[in-house]
Structure 1
Amino acid sequence: MSGADPHAIPQARGHRAAVRAHGGQRMLLHLPAASVKKLKARANGEMACSATATISSLQAVLAHFWRAVCRARRLPPEHGTLYSVVVGCRGRMNGIPPGYVGNALVFGKAEATAGEIEEKGLGWTAWLLNRAVASFDEATMRESLERWVREPDFTYMDNLSSAGTALVTGSSPRFDVFGNDFGWGKPLAVRSGSGNKADGKATVFEGPERGGSISLEVCIAPDALERLVADQEFMDSVSTPAA
């Protein structure tokens, strides 16, 4: 075809329509380091008498996001909601070096009702995410890998996003995305590809000023996103930089 990009990778028939069908709208949300520290301190303070491990900065941020999205989606208090977080196997499984470049991850899942998340607070919600990450077990993971060889199974975004009630987060603020230089100079902004554009997907990056800041590239239904950015409790910790 005249003018076609000779380097383009052909898409499977119907692929782009499937991406649009997820019905999400994208927005970048930014939390400066000071906001991240406050959320972490608040979450750990709320759980000081019962938690047996420290809630991380990312877990506190994701808990803040989860609670706000439940409100933005107007989920009934008794409605169940699920948050799937990607847990990296590097450093958790023997034989996988820190510099391994392939996919080495498993999903940790936290579940609660929308009412519990709202009523029990930031710390309790962050603790659910903390326990989801801590649930990683190397022996179970190895059994799963051996079973996969016999019975291959693939995970798709549709399996992780459930009718406007679930959230999924991948990537990590620990990745040095702004330190990359491919000969064009340092990055000014970082975004994910079309495979991450599904209702309920939130991709994490370090913030552009680094130093503990966090950016969330979120994709949720347009009406819910409109309510999310109008939620004063949520937006007190968040800014929305230009796309």
Structure 2
Amino acid sequence: MAEVRTHKLVEKSHVARASLPSSTTRTTSSLPLSFLDLPLAGPVYVKRQFFYQFPHSTHHFCETTLPTLKHSLSLILQHFFPLAGNLLSPPPPHKPFIRCTDDDTVPLTIIESKADFNHLSSNHPKSIHELGHLNPELTFATMHDDTFIFPLVALQATVFESHGLCIAITYCHVMDGKCCNHFMKSWSSLCQSGGVDLTLVENSPPCFDREVLRDPRGGLEDIFLTDYFLERSTWKDKLIEQTPKHEEYFKATIVFGRDDIEGLKRWVLEQWKKNDEFNCPQYLSKFVVVCALVWTSLVKTRYKDHDDEDVKEEYFRFAVDCRGRLGHPVPETYFGNCLALCYAMLKRNELKGEDGFVNAVKVIEKTASDMKSEPFKEAEDWRALSVKTFVLGTPLLVTGSPNFDVYETDFGFGRPTKVEMVHSFKCMSLAESRDEEGGLEVGLVCKSEEFEYLFYVLQQGLQTTKSSVC
């Protein structure tokens, strides 16, 4: 019962997009999904949180801040109108699409919380269950003809009286992280101006033209549509399952400084040249070396006592923005998914061994290089690889990106003190460092008893590279 008293519902409203002056009739329109939306269509959700210092009362928030939040949201939804709509998934052979009407709204929930703002907005381990209270849930419905209806976006503002504010978004994956970032930056910029300056969104409006995203190989849409119908057949069982409890899992953020990252790069390139100078690249990205260290450290932490399963396959999946990789121009503000899914695999003992970090760097670097030359090389196998990853192996999926500049999302309260993503233990989240240019923040979910050993393994990895360089 104490948990119920911690969070109090203040208001739940539905914000409609502002009406255009010339609008006199009610209309319904639809936005088709592209071939790259199909692998992620359905009940695939992303949850992001923005924490801000806000030393005011809930009453002050409701009287002075909330009206501007609502007004600016209503204006921004004129430009991002599909987000107020619904994803409709009719039964085969019909394709899914986004339905938009003049009556569409986005739910905005206001919560007052007595939880510890400083703790929840810190890098220290905190309960996934506690973080989950800060995000709104997205529901679904079904029609008589077995059509699924998925609302696309829900928003929540949680006030921690006299301490802080958390603005959270939960969205259906009909748009990628870059699109969500575009929406949040546009909304926050307008809100910061008091709801009067639309310059940002007017200078870079979202592009809804599906013709700009052409299948570079031909035939991928048919493959993805077949995979989508297979996945759709599993939704009923998945959606009626009881939501799993998260009390035993916690999330912490590890910050890698620029010097840490440069040390990792130098050390691993030296090791690579010793054994295979001919195939050693001249440069490694911070994404590759940090992800490799995190992947190996997690495997060593979670399976340090599981020697009998050391031949089990471990998978590392990340997505790459393809807007500049398709051989034809795709606007940076394209609305939808424009992602290539990349899979790397190693046996567990190859990650746990002495050369685990180098092995991980090599396989992630090769996967990334292959994607650059041919983004959809194995696209016809994406669903099969996904099933294999979860059924036969153990996955680690990357969410977020250091390229989004999420710490520049200012609603008028200053830069966020923390930007968080809520996800399962099968994921790791990435963001740029808030306080150091060139650094990276990595969010990891583990059981509470695993963190001490995980931090030790990560520190040992960093120390090894530093001592070698020195």
Aligned residue identity for 2:434: P
CA distance in 1 between counterparts of 2:263 and 2:334 reads 33
* Partner in structure 1 of residue 460 of structure 2: 233
Contact 2:264 2:462 in 1 (8 A): no
**1:101 deviation in Å?**
4.3
| Structure 1 position 172 matched with structure 2 position 401 | yes
**Equivalent residue number for residue 129 of structure 1:** 364
Cα-to-partner distance string for 1:50-84 (whole Å, 9 max, x where unaligned): 32463211110111111111110125332221111
CA distance in 1, matches of 2:267, 2:362: 12
* Larger strand fraction of residues: 2
Letter aligned with residue 413 of structure 2: W
> Which stretches in structure 1 are left out of the alignment for 5+ residues?
238-243
Question: Which residue is 1:205 aligned to?
Answer: 431
8 Å CA contact 1:202–1:219 kept in 2: the answer is: yes
Partner of 1:214: 440
Q: Give the share of equivalent positions with the same residue, in percent.
A: 18
Amino acid at match of 1:43: V
User: 1:78-135: per-residue Cα shift (whole Å, max 9, x none)?
Assistant: 2221111122212212332233343221221111112212232423311111112223
Please say if 1:39 is aligned against 2:296. Answer: no
Alignment of 1:1-243 (within 5 A): 3-6=10-13, 7-8=108-109, 11-12=138-139, 18=243, 20=245, 24-48=249-273, 49=277, 50-52=279-281, 54-74=283-303, 75-76=306-307, 77-93=310-326, 94-117=328-351, 118-136=353-371, 137-138=374-375, 140=377, 165-192=394-421, 194=422, 197-231=423-457, 232-234=459-461, 236=463
> SS where residue 20 of structure 1 aligns?
coil
**Paired letter, 1:36:** I
Contact 1:36 1:213 in 2 (8 A): yes
Structure 2 stretches of 5 or more lacking a match?
Answer: 1-8, 14-107, 110-135, 141-238, 465-470
Deviations 1:169-220 (A, max 9, x none): 122222211222222212221111x3xx211210100111232111001113
Equivalent AA in structure 1 for residue 365 of structure 2: N
Q: What letter is aligned with 1:165?
A: T
| Greater Cα offset, 211-220 or 159-168 | 159-168
For residues 38 and 114 of structure 1, what CA distance do their matches in structure 2 show? 25
**Equivalent-residue separation in structure 1 for 2:270 and 2:332 (angstroms):** 32
**In structure 1, distance between residues paired with 2:400 and 2:302:** 24
Q: 1:113 to 1:159 in 2, by over 3 A?
A: closer
Which structure would you say has the larger RCO, counting Cα contacts within 8 Å and 6 or more residues apart?
1
CA contact (8 A) 1:73 1:224 kept: yes
Q: 1:160 to 1:20 in 2, by over 3 A?
A: farther
Q: Which moved more, 1:107-116 or 1:97-106?
A: 97-106
Name the TM-score, length of structure 2 as normaliser: 0.42
> Distance between the aligned counterparts of 2:295 and 2:324, measured in 1?
27
Is the 1:86–1:105 contact (alpha carbons within 8 Å) kept by the matching residues of 2?
yes
Q: Contact 2:323/2:338 (CA < 8 Å) preserved in 1? A: yes
Q: 1:139 to 1:202 in 2, by over 3 A?
A: closer
Q: Distance in 2 between matches of 1:21 and 1:15?
A: 18
The answer to whether the 8 Å contact 1:110/1:129 transfers is yes
One-letter amino acid of the counterpart of residue 357, structure 2: L
**How far apart in 2 are the matches of 1:11 and 1:114?**
36
Q: Using a 3 Å threshold, how does the CA distance of structure 1 residues 187 and 222 change in structure 2: closer, same or farther?
A: same
CA drift of 1:139 comes to: 5.6
1:83 is matched by which residue type in structure 2?
F
Secondary structure of the 1:45 match is helix
Q: Distance in 1 between matches of 2:242 and 2:392?
A: 18
